[in-house]
Chains A and B, each alone.
Chain A
Amino acid sequence: MYLNTLLEVRDLRVYFYTYAGVVRAVDGVSFSVRKGEILCIVGETGCGKSVMSRALTRMVKPPGRIVSGEVLFDGIDLLKLPEKELKKIRGREISYVYQDPGSVLDPLYTAGFHVAETVLTHNSSMKFNEVWGKAIRIFREVLIPDPEAKAKSYPHELSGGMKQRVVIATAIANTPKLIIADEPTTALDVTVQAQVMELIRSLKNKYNSSVMLITHNLGVVAEVCDRVIVMYAGKIVEVALVEELFTNPLHPYTQGLLEAVPNPLRKVERLRSIHGSVPNMIDLPEGCRFNPRCPHKLQLCNKEPELVEYSKDHLVSCWLYKR
């Protein structure tokens, strides 16, 4: 464990037990989040990114179940922590920003109330008007114009970008050590996306928090991330520093991903799509889960590869790099 490690995940497995079969949404994921970094999790829709992020604080709903794993946060295993203790961590030490700001705010309460109650929950000694004052200060920090008035507005009276700022305000309300942002810009207009990303970055610097950013937008990754984890069908296929990943992608899936979008760090003549589609999560292919779509398929690929260190800070799970 590095000295500067904030959170360490070991062999996390989350399975969904459904009528149609067992969905192995997160299947043996291990990684760590370092202090003060922005860690990106990249992968196609349905590859288990969101489920994984929620499993970190045990927020998986039935039929999903955390089957195994450890989530060490400041040396404590969150998966073994009693629910009551965990509630003190959610929203205070680890906070979330969800994808769709339109549906995560309770329509019957004002924007300011959401922030105020989040503060109040974790600081029960404070009085409500103190908390309200703090909410307005936070609103100012997330660059909401006219914070006093906006705090009294109901969610339906705010624009999408404004609502996401409110959500971010709730996330930073208790100066958390880790902010988990699950596709925070997907539901927003392109023009607002950049502002929101910039906001997250500047807040992170200010509070020296770590950010775990889940996205499928490689542009965002290149712009704001320090380190990247690439996930495919419930497994980590590659981990690298952002520059390394864009200049020297190892895993065929990562290579495919980078060829499918304009690469900001490399000039590509034309874009290519990855052949095939995401596998059915119930009926996964044998061995490496990417093998049916892989252009470099080997005999070995029928067995499952392990995530191994290729060079310093660059891990990959592929038989091509077996030493």
Chain B
Amino acid sequence: MLKKFNRVLLKSNALRSVGSIIYDWRLAFEVIKRSPLTMTGLIIVVGFIVLGAIGPYIAPYNPIEIDFSSIALKRLQPPSLQHPFGTDEYGRDLFSRVLAGARVSLMVSMAVMSIAIPVGLVLGLVAGYYGGVIDEIIMRVTDVFLSFPGLVLAIAFSATLGAGLFSAMLALSIVWWPSYVRVVRAQVLVVREQLFIEAAKAMGVSTRRILFKHILPNSITPLLVLVTLDFGSVILASSALSFIGLGAQPPTPEWGRLVADGRKWFPDKWWYSFFPGLAILITVLGFNILGDGLRDILDPRFRRRLEFREVK
């Protein structure tokens, strides 16, 4: 195992000058396998995505419908074998609702990312590559957005657009793109100065081609860490929006909303708030652990440290 790892490491270093991304990835995979913490993060993230996809189908009970015939009998029951997370005030199985909530969180975070990343990427590329007035304008606007604590601005947008999951998604997307502009632009400024871009320019390669074929791929690796971490942050932010009454509305089984609903019965029916909150914690933790691990792996200093680590 150690031998193989060393081989991959050495190869990756030998080929770095050629810019082999494939070896980078093989190395990354080897490192993930060696770091139990990062592996845990990866498992949680994959588990979350799978549950988001199939959660509602494997839920033991209907997460949304209320069975009015048995409310009195089944409402607010503590965790048991039948209902591992207990039941809510309408007798619904909280385990099923938390499972279904994975899909809501996954949808929101994916929607926000799929708007924020392309917008940030394009604006960052354009600002970094062209510089001058375009850069100045884009960065000024970005600065304005970053002059608000993110969640506060999201609350303002969300309140204006009206409570609801869709407006929360929109609000978070509007708030999230500026940080990507900064990161991508900084990366572009670094890549732009490199010789191969000069060479491409000298050979008359079109600007668009340089941007998308050369600069973009080279800017993506550092972005990857940020995206992983942000996936968790979006889940956290959207649950906070729902908790304060914006975002998801009943009967949508959103985790933040469930915590807020459970608070009415706190502290006697502690499970109502406890399990949905735990689901948020574990999911976000998964993304953060994975992102943190990826950052180490992609950091050349860390790579050096791995190679030259002291053997005790």
Query: Is there a contact between chains A and B in the complex with CB atoms less than 8 Å apart?
Result: yes
Chain B nearest Cβ from A64, distance in angstroms: 9
Q: Which residues of A contact B6 (CB under 8 A)?
A: 19-20
Write the A58-71 contact mask toward B (1 if CB under 8 angstroms, else 0): 00001100000000
Nearest A residue (CB) for B306: A19
Q: Which residues of B contact A62 (CB under 8 A)?
A: 310
Check B310–A17 contact: CB distance below 8 A. Answer: yes
Check A63–B310 contact: CB distance below 8 A. Answer: yes
Nearest B residue (CB) for A18: B308
Write the B282-312 contact mask toward A (1 if CB under 8 angstroms, else 0): 0000000000000000000000001111110
- Where chain A touches its partner, the secondary structure class is loop
Q: Which residues of B contact A19 (CB under 8 A)?
A: 2, 6, 306-309, 311
Query: How many of chain B's residues touch chain A, expressed as a range?
Result: 10 to 19
Write the A11-22 contact mask toward B (1 if CB under 8 angstroms, else 0): 000001111100
Query: How many of chain A's residues touch chain B, expressed as a range?
Result: under 10
Q: Which residues of A contact B10 (CB under 8 A)?
A: 20
Nearest A residue (CB) for B10: A20
Bound form: Cα–Cα A19–B9 in Å: 11
Bound form: Cα–Cα A210–B2 in Å: 47
Bound form: Cα–Cα A19–B308 in Å: 6
Q: Which residues of B contact A18 (CB under 8 A)?
A: 307-311
Q: Which residues of A contact B307 (CB under 8 A)?
A: 18-20
Write the B1-42 contact mask toward A (1 if CB under 8 angstroms, else 0): 010001001100000000000000000000000000000000
Nearest B residue (CB) for A61: B310
Chain B nearest Cβ from A277, distance in angstroms: 14
Bound form: Cα–Cα A20–B310 in Å: 10
Interface centre among A16, A19, A63 (most CB of B within 10 A): A19
Chain B nearest Cβ from A36, distance in angstroms: 39
* 21 CB < 8 A contacts A-B: A16-B308, A17-B310, A17-B311, A18-B309, A18-B310, A18-B311, A19-B6, A19-B306, A19-B307, A19-B308, A19-B309, A19-B311, A20-B6, A20-B9, A20-B10, A20-B307, A20-B308, A62-B310, A63-B308, A63-B309, A63-B311
A residues with a Cβ closer than 8 A to B are 16-20, 62-63
B residues with a Cβ closer than 8 A to A are 2, 6, 9-10, 306-311
